[in-house]
Amino acid sequence: MSCEEIAVCAVRLRENLCLYFEDDELECDAFCKDKTIKRFFRNVNSQLLVVRPDLNVAAFEDVTDQEVKSGSGMYFDIHCYKTTAPSAGMPVAFSVQVEDKSYYMCCEKEHGKMVVRFREGEVPKDIPGESNIIFFKKTFTSCSSKAFKFEYSLEQGMFLAFEEEDSLRKLILKKLPREDEVDETTKFVTSHNERHNL
């Protein structure tokens, strides 16, 4: 048995049968960067995810060997965070280099709909509370341990996915009715080798 100290907060049961904490110093969710890994992202069609900030789009594309060698807009930094609260997966944030600039992925509400955007700047080392850049990395299925899905931290059941639009497979946020639903548009394979095949 361990001799670690465990902090216990006193609670009070009020007339309405609700528990109330007596201590106002409870810590909210916070994220602290742990490590960063570099990866390419592929969809089920073996296309690479490419960010094009000048067009304000991220989409899965068939790319030439020459484009892949440059890695511009395709080689992502996955920033892994530690958290002060239990979560439903590994908290991560994404950034990518396009030419000489760094862009981070975030989610924003536009015209009543949540969209994925890449904004110029760096991913913070520490995030004191909730953030529109954090996703929870989860295995896609129990029998598919090398494929992942990424749930948006601010809305349960909302996952990164792709959809066909104007001959592009654009990166989007997609609401799944059930978390255990197998939806191939939310399946991502990460690899440090651009020639990795699904």
Type and span of the H or E element at 111: none
Residue 42 lies in a domain: yes
For each of the chain's 198 residues, which pLDDT tens digit applies? 444 444 444 444 444 444 444 444 434 456 787 889 999 998 888 899 999 988 888 999 998 888 888 878 999 999 999 887 666 789 999 999 998 999 999 999 999 999 999 999 999 988 888 899 999 999 888 777 789 999 999 999 999 999 998 888 999 999 998 877 789 999 999 887 655 443
**CA-CA-CA-CA dihedral for 184, 63, 168, 191, to nearest 10:** 30
Domains identified in the chain, total number: 1
Residue 15 lies in a domain: no
d(CA 153, CA 131): 8
Residue 198 lies in a domain: no
Residue 50 lies in a domain: yes
The predicted model scores a pTM of 0.78
- Give me the domain span that covers residue 120: 28-191
Q: What is the CATH number of the domain that holds 85?
A: 2.80.10.50
Residue 17 lies in a domain: no
